[in-house]
Structure 1
Amino acid sequence: MAEHLFHLTANWPGLRNDIGDIKAGNLETQVSIPPEMDGPGVGTNPDEMLLGAAATCYIITLAAMMERSNLDKESLTMESIGVVDVTKGVITYKKIIHRPIIVLKHNATEKDCNLANKLAQQAEKSCMISRAIKGNVEIKLEAEIKTA
């Protein structure tokens, strides 16, 4: 078994509504509580970072699966939405919705379109971040397959 270690350093100079910073590999940014939760909204926040981790893991996994399947694409884009519930002071990250748009080459067949849809579903189940949060955060997939 090979383990990969990822390191992050954090500095939080003040109290709740202060601004901190984090550094992890190529990621270096300020962090604070978002304005939706009565924070200063400077830099990024844990909610955006979880959404970013889930979205980038998913789209990279999908692209790799499409490559291994020799499925040519014109483009692969995606919008992802994080749904956070705040009820009676309890904050719960409820759901992430991925909306990938796969545009296949103009000569794509119905079989290619079906394969793209199948890979979109498999990628969500195969992504390391999706597996890590499974059972805690619902992941919903709304894939759209088109031809150029």
Structure 2
Amino acid sequence: MAEHHFHLTAQWKGGLFGEGQISVGNLVSTVSVPPEMNGPGIGTNPDEMLVGAAATCYLITLAAVLENRGIIPVDITLESEGVVTVEGNKPCFDKIIHRPAIVLENDATEEQLHTVAVLAERAEKACMISKAIHGNVKVTVEANVMVKV
């Protein structure tokens, strides 16, 4: 069994509404509480990073799932949205919605379009980050599969 380790270093100054720095792999960023939660909104924040982790994992998994079926799209774009609710002082990361737009060659059949839509759903279930947050954060896919114009 292979085991991979990923290391992050962090530094923080101030209280809740201070700011920090993180470094992990090729990512170096300032971090703070987001403005939506009355923070300074400097750099990124854990909410954006969770959406980013889920989105990039899903995108890579989607490309792999399609390739495993012999399908190489012309293009895949992705918009992902994270939804956080706050009751009283308690924020809860409720859900992530992935909205991939998958473009196939203009000779793709209706059956191929349907297959790709099904595979877009399957990719979410195969994604390592989706598996890690399963049971805590709902992840859904709203795929738009189309042919190149």
Distance 2:107 2:3 in 1: 42
Work out the CA distance in 2 between the residues paired with 1:41 and 1:112.
Answer: 43
1:27 aligned partner, one-letter code: L
TM-score with structure 1 setting the length: 0.97
Give 2:125's aligned residue: 125
The CA deviation string for residues 100-139 of structure 1, in whole angstroms up to 9 with x for no partner, is: 1111101111221122112101100000000000000001
**Which TM-score applies when normalising by structure 2?**
0.97
Amino acid at match of 1:50: L
Q: Distance in 1 between matches of 2:21 and 2:133?
A: 24
* TM-aligned CA deviation for residue 73 of structure 1: 1.4
In structure 2, C-alpha distance between the alignment counterparts of 1:3 and 1:74, rounded to whole Å: 34
Measure, in 2, the Cα distance between the counterparts of 1:15 and 1:146: 48
Alignment of 1:33-112 (within 5 A): 33-112=33-112
Deviations 1:2-21 (A, max 9, x none): 11000000001221111100
CA distance in 2 between counterparts of 1:42 and 1:124 reads: 30
For the 8 Å contact 1:72–1:105, the answer to whether it is kept is no
Report if aligned partners of 1:102, 1:145 keep a CA contact under 8 Å in 2: yes
Paired letter, 2:103? V
Q: Does the CA contact (< 8 Å) of 1:97 and 1:142 recur in 2?
A: yes
Structure 1 unaligned segments of length 5 or more: list them: none
Query: Percent identity over the alignment?
Result: 55
1:96 Cα deviation after fit: 0.4
**Aligned-pair RMSD on alpha carbons?**
0.8
Runs (4+) of structure 1 exceeding 4 A deviation are none
Say if 2:23 is the partner of 1:23.
yes
Q: Look up the equivalent residue of 1:69 and give its one-letter code.
A: R
> One-letter code of the match for 1:72?
I
CA contact (8 A) 1:8 1:22 kept: yes
